Amino acid sequence: MGGDEREVDAVTPRVLLAHDAGLTLLDAETGEVLHEEAREGFLRLGAAGDGRHVVVADGGTFRVFDAGIEEQAHGDHAHAYEFTPGLTDVTYEAPHAGHVVPHGGRTALWSDGEGSVQLLDTAAVADPDADVTRLPDPSPHHGVAVPVEGGVVMTHGTEEERSEVRFVRDDEVLARTTDCPGVHGEASAAPDLDGDVVLFGCEDGPVVFRGGDFHKVEAPDDYARTGNAAGSPVSSVVLTDYKTDPDGDPERPTRVALVDTREDSLRLVDLGSAYWFRSLARGPMGEGVVLTYDGSLAVVDVEAGVVDRRIPVVAPWQEKEDWQEPGPVLQVAGDLAYVTDAERRELVVADLTSGEVVARHALDHAPVEMAVVTGEAGGH
């Protein structure tokens, strides 16, 4: 895949969906099915970060999917290209392939089965000869790594317990914190004068990596899990979920946390309706966007700490007992929010600026995961 290069006037976003029959690529504007790929098993999707490719976690392998669009900057303008879409021959072996995190021009591929991360230039993710650096952790665990200036920030733990996050450069640990029980999830905020700022979720308030060191954020509850987060390159505030019941399975929270990564502080906003881990996103101006059980997008002013408005998009829904079952997914690209309605087999597109639904596309399969590409490389 990826051949048949042709220059076009412009490209429109594309949406890759994973479902029980494999993968489906759609034109996000028209809903046209551009490519289908039959695959068995549970597939997870992560944007590679170059605006063109999606990394598919498929058991013990990361596979690279070419969505077939690209914008190349050329002085004061850009050239747009289309390519033949589909799975490429490029793979990265990773026992129990996990999280994919692009940041700062590099992409991290995490292996839960090894507790290791593979790092490579984002622009080379589809290159079969890409230069890959592997950093091992002493023990397999469900973890994550974020490339940052001067190194990588990565979790450390075991299959039974994980509470440590490390800043590593060339196998040397430059900083660490052990004050993050149940560490899970990450998000990058706007950088400060010292460089990258990254939040990691914990079960008693998150930790923030800033200025080459770690800073603990206090939470008002003894158990306060912030394991899923959404950051914005234009905001110092990170949006996270907020769970207070250690026995909740599933817990159906109605509050989200807004974490100020400069002040290391946290405040809560009650949305008035529950949500789940695939509900969190950020808008083009840094606003928080949360898909709630009532079927609407709650748009949150992260500076004022209030729900600014609501945009109805899908029918009311509720999280299922099994998180791998089809359920709604929210992604935002530019000023458009993309929401899957698994029950109605529909992809809904809403304009965050006007507050209007601008498209509804019928789907042949109930989607489980979604990735949106625009052709333009983006930050994390």
3-state secondary structure of 318: coil
Q: How far apart are CA 378 and CA 334, in angstroms?
A: 10
pLDDT in tens, the chain (380 residues): 666 888 888 899 999 999 999 999 999 999 999 999 999 999 999 999 999 999 999 999 999 999 999 988 766 677 889 999 999 999 999 999 999 999 999 999 999 999 999 999 999 999 999 999 999 877 899 999 999 999 999 999 999 999 999 999 988 999 999 999 999 999 999 999 999 999 999 999 999 999 999 999 999 999 999 999 999 999 999 999 999 999 988 999 999 999 999 999 999 999 999 999 999 999 999 999 999 999 999 999 999 999 999 999 999 999 988 888 889 999 999 999 999 999 999 999 999 999 999 999 999 999 999 999 999 876 56
Question: For residues 347 and 339, is the Cβ–Cβ distance under 8 A?
Answer: yes
pLDDT given at position 119 = 98
pLDDT given at position 149 = 96
Q: Tokens 């087999």 — which residue?
A: 345
pLDDT given at position 323 = 81
pLDDT given at position 75 = 65
Tokens of 310: 């609501």
Question: For residues 100 and 128, is the Cβ–Cβ distance under 8 A?
Answer: no
pLDDT given at position 380 = 62
Query: Phi and psi (nearest 5°) for 66?
Result: -95, 115
Domains contained in the chain, CATH given = 6-276 (2.130.10.10)
pLDDT given at position 379 = 56
pLDDT given at position 76 = 67
pLDDT given at position 236 = 98
Question: 188-191 — which CB contacts under 8 Å span 24+ positions?
Answer: 188/103, 188/146, 188/231, 188/233, 188/379, 188/380, 189/231, 189/232, 189/235, 189/236, 189/237, 189/238, 189/261, 190/232, 190/233, 190/234, 190/235, 190/236
Tokens of 377: 């490389």
